[in-house]
Structure 1
């Protein structure tokens, strides 16, 4: 059965550190215990070899003494080995002819082979070394050492390691539990800030966190995401409000004409045609208005395609040709300076919308009939300047900023436009790092200058203001 993980990050970190500590401390401790045990057993083997050398030198005396002391009452081996849990035996064939040391409680079997070995007998472990006394003799000596103290030492050391691992784990878990409380405070701040976010709020921002770096990056990313969502939501709200406000009049007009036609099925043909023509005009006005609002909403929300290199002279020339068809009574001209014109890095569709609206406004608000509209292209090391001049009455200086607003038509509008033309141009200017400036034309009309950056600034940089030209 799969064990469930703790739900909180704090618990997961604490549990992970606890598992890591118990593994590292336990593994390191067991390695140390194993090395100590290996060293102890190697020491036993060295002692057995040294003792075997002594036994080989005095083998005759041990045999002559048998299992007791010599005539003088002295027992070199019995007294030396007593209490050391060691045993020395001389073996001939399958019989023990002499032995010295601590007598085992259970008999130890006769060795069948020479060399070092470990003997298990009666629940006790003995380390045994068997060697022949000399090359010509059939007698063998066996030196044994009880391994119980070494086994017990290994058990005791293992218990110490287990206790240290448990204590280390508890201390580490407690420390991590307290430390993570402070480390995770920035995340708690972000969580509380996120809980306060409401869709109805006009300004939403999570708390700014400076450290740790990962949480600071998360805070910055979330705030950027919130800013984008707020921009998109505000654009949607503005689009809805503007559309509702501006569509009310043409829809009301169309409704009145439809009601008139419905109530008067035998209306005269010329009056019926007049009503239909009026509804067609209002329908076109609605379509134009919706297209402009959609463009503004996409720009406000930042829903823009990737930038590309734009040939402005070619774009402006194509816009003039289309404007000439729309306004045949207006004369259009264009100049693009001398030399090779640089390409602008921007959105071709957006720049075309801006130029089209400047040309349309100049034709609609310029001199009628046979007005003249001139488009000029200039550039320097940073900006491209698109200026459109007409020979109409112009716009008073105190109204020039106001007419850039959405649905603004000036004090004395000369056409039934939507009031979005200059607002669209202003938006494209801002999206391309420039401005829209309105001034006096040399021939007395209006001069509208759109500035566009040649190379866009990084998104993290502050937008550079376009220079002012007169």
Structure 2
């Protein structure tokens, strides 16, 4: 089983140590190889120089015969310092035997060269570099040798130095990276500590705001954004559950009581049974409308929204008014479009807000009354105003009417109390606003304002 470090700090340290080892080792080996190549090239040049000099004075070497000392010449010879102890040797070879030699006496006999040119031979634990050349037309050959044991030792010493330096560099690099990564990874440790403190509580702490390095700062912002979305979604779910439980209790209780009445009183008249069934149908409709509104609010609270698209408000408003007129046949809708207007938003959400404003005008306006609907476009904003001729809302109560499950004290129509809350939410999601005021006819005037397509930002989720 392969060992793999679990810690990022350990992985970085090991990776850097391996990288430093490879780089330093390769660099050192290249340097050692270059030095060794230079040393051996110098030996070859020295051999060629000596061979040339010996060629010029070959008769002198033959005349002296086989000598290995420098007696009588004052410590010098005529062949480039070919004396005993100089680690060099010259041999004259004829008919497969050495007829004369001068210089270092090897500890063991050296083999005869098999061919002319440069070569390397070993004898008695010594390594010699040789250069063999033809001496004359009679077939005699000249061999110049140089002991290269010092070069071999230098190569081994340099290789050992490179190995030691490589090991030291790897250890120093690993230790340095281990300490440096502790400092570098401190922001991640702070994020980890902050993440351990995060709980399901929507009011709990956020992750620390990291500013450096940039990658960790981006990560902290992304995680905080994700955490905010999760908490928003969780808060929407909790609010939906609480609102549904609170608001559904009454209609469900009414349904249960009506069902129990029908079960215990089978002798009820047809008229009584019809009224009971009508009550059950109304409560069922109320429950359905309530759940639909709560689900819409919950999706808006959680920002579970698609990308924005261009929406022609004039066309959308014309269609919505036509459908509202069919739903509320006793109400007269008068639509005025001052100028074409396009916004970037969600068609379903905008239609939901408009439908609620139109329904409110019909339900809370005067019976057989009139609702004025107007679309205006000015200063990079689009405004939809819906005015009715009902009793209106007192100024001190208008802000509270935007809250969920709030119904006016003088309302004459049943409802869930979510209509204006839905409109307010859609206005906020579209970076707009909802303003409640008094209409010229004395009723309520609701103004739904959103930025036009030049100021809104397609695809940007609301904060």
Q: Establish whether TM, by shorter chain, passes 0.5.
A: yes
Aligned with residue 440 of structure 2, among 434, 439, 442? 442
| Alignment counterpart, residue 111 of structure 1, candidates 110, 113, 125 | 113
Distance 1:114 1:417 in 2: 115
Q: Return the alpha-carbon distance in structure 2 between the equivalents of residues 224 and 103 of structure 1.
A: 86
Q: Distance in 2 between matches of 1:314 and 1:452?
A: 16
Partner residue in 2 for 1:96: 98
Query: Is residue 407 of structure 1 aligned with residue 408 of structure 2?
Result: no
> Is the 1:204–1:227 Cα contact (8 Å) retained in structure 2?
no
Q: Quote the offset at 1:315 in angstroms.
A: 1.2
Q: Distance in 2 between matches of 1:121 and 1:197?
A: 79
Which residue of structure 2 lines up, in the alignment, with residue 466 of structure 1?
none
**In 2: Cα distance, 1:30 partner to 1:242 partner:** 77
Whether contact under 8 Å (1:203, 1:230) holds in the other structure is no
Structure-1 residue corresponding to 2:376: 378
Change in 2 beyond 3 A, CA 1:27/1:70: closer
Are 1:376 and 1:386, in contact at CA under 8 Å, matched by a contact in 2? Answer: yes
Within 2, Cα distance between the matches of 1:129 and 1:275? 124
Cα deviation code 1:394-442 (max 9, x no counterpart): 1000000000001111233322110000000001101111100001111
**Structure 1's 190 and 290: CA in aligned 2 closer, same or farther, altered over 3 A?**
same
> Structure 2: any 5+ residue segments left out of the alignment?
none
The 8 Å contact of residues 439 and 446 in structure 1, kept in 2 or not, is answered as: yes
| Aligned partner of 1:423 among 421, 424, 442 | 421
Distance of 1:71 and 1:25 partners within structure 2: 48
Q: Is the 8 A contact 1:77 1:100 kept in 2?
A: no
- 2:84 maps to 82
CA separation of 1:69 and 1:260: change in aligned 2, threshold 3 A? closer
Aligned 8 A contact 2:84 2:104 in 1: yes
Q: Is 2:191 the partner of 1:202? A: no
Task: Tell me the alpha carbon deviations over residues 339-363 of structure 1, each in whole angstroms, 9 at most, x when there is no partner.
Answer: xx13221111101100000011011
Mean CA deviation greater in 406-415 or 436-445: 406-415
How big is the shift at 1:122? Answer: 4.3
- Who is 2:232 aligned against? 231
Which blocks of at least 5 consecutive residues in structure 1 are unaligned?
464-470
Q: Secondary structure at the match of 1:76?
A: coil
Cα distance in 1, alignment partners of residues 332 and 430 from structure 2: 29
Is this contact kept in 1: 2:309–2:458, CA < 8 A?
A: no
Conservation of the 8 A alpha-carbon contact between 1:190 and 1:219 = yes
Tell whether 2:44 aligns with 1:45.
yes
Deviation at 1:272, TM superposition (A): 1.1
* Alpha-carbon distance in structure 2 between the residues aligned to 1:242 and 1:70: 116
The answer on whether the counterparts of 2:82 and 2:102 sit within 8 Å (CA) in structure 1 is no
Q: Are 1:361 and 2:363 an aligned pair?
A: no
Q: Distance between the aligned counterparts of 2:203 and 2:459, measured in 1?
A: 23
More deviation in 262-271 or 117-126? Answer: 117-126
Contact 1:365/1:414 (<8 A) preserved:
yes
TM-score by length of structure 1 reads: 0.94
Aligned residue-pair number: 458
Cα offset for 1:256? 0.4
Task: Return the alpha-carbon distance in structure 2 between the equivalents of residues 450 and 185 of structure 1.
Answer: 49
Q: Using the TM superposition, name which of 199-208 and 167-176 deviates more.
A: 199-208
Alignment match, 1:172 = 173
Asked whether the equivalents of residues 204 and 226 of structure 1 are also in contact (C-alpha less than 8 Å), the reply is: no
Helix, strand or coil at the partner of 2:144 = strand
Query: What is the deviation of 1:69?
Result: 7.9
- Is residue 10 of structure 2 the alignment partner of residue 14 of structure 1? no
* Distance in 2 between residues matched to 1:390 and 1:460, nearest whole Å: 34
> Which 4+ runs in 1 deviate beyond 6 A?
69-72, 458-463
Change (3 A) 1:187 1:83: same
Output the CA distance in 1 between the equivalents of 2:262 and 2:458.
58
Which stretch of structure 1 is more off in the superposition, 193-202 or 183-192? 193-202
**1:342 matches 2:344:** no
How far apart are the structure 2 equivalents of 1:72 and 1:88? 17
Corresponding residue for residue 256 of structure 2: 255
CA RMSD between the two structures: 1.9
